[in-house]
Amino acid sequence: MEKRVSYIKIDQSFINSMTTKDVKGFSSEDDEWVQNIIHIMEKVLGIKQRVTYTYDFDLFKRYGYPSFKVSRGDWGGCSPDEAFVWINARKHKVSAKQELVNTIIHELLHIKNPKRKEKWIIKEASKYVHTSEED
């Protein structure tokens, strides 16, 4: 007799209720673009874990364990041990695309190098994308 496996879906009602308006103005094309950047940078940085991400701060705080304080006003945050990234879609909706790429790379660098200082992460991220913050 074949054993049947049953999967429990975490927060299924939350997942079912999500629509593009729930990502604060990010279209499905924007979301696909974010996914592609993450997957490309996983390979470039040699990250062995599969990175997951969310635009929902409450979901991030519930399931992520950041190694430093992350607040709703930040551009993003990550939980290095879980390879879980939060992207602040409200801020990025009105910013230049390079700011979004910078945030993704910045958080992925924290996942790859969890013990590195913020100053090193910022300098390393600037090797991949130029932002006005670096001037």
pLDDT in tens, 43-77: 999 999 999 999 999 889 888 888 788 999 999 99
CB 127 within 8 A of CB 64: no
- Please report the pLDDT score of residue 104 as a whole number: 96
Q: How far apart are CA 33 and CA 98, in angstroms?
A: 12
Q: Which pTM was predicted?
A: 0.79
The whole-number pLDDT of residue 12 equals 47
How many angstroms separate the Cα of 29 from the Cα of each of 24, 37, 103, 127?
14, 12, 18, 26
Domains and their CATH numbers in the chain = 22-127 (3.30.2010.10)
Instruction: Enumerate residue ranges in the chain where pLDDT < 50.
Output: 3-12, 14-22, 134-135
Q: What is the DSSP letter of 85?
A: E
CA distance 60 to 70: 10
| pLDDT at 115 (0 to 100) | 94
Count Cα neighbours of 49 within 13 Å in the Cβ-side half-sphere. 16
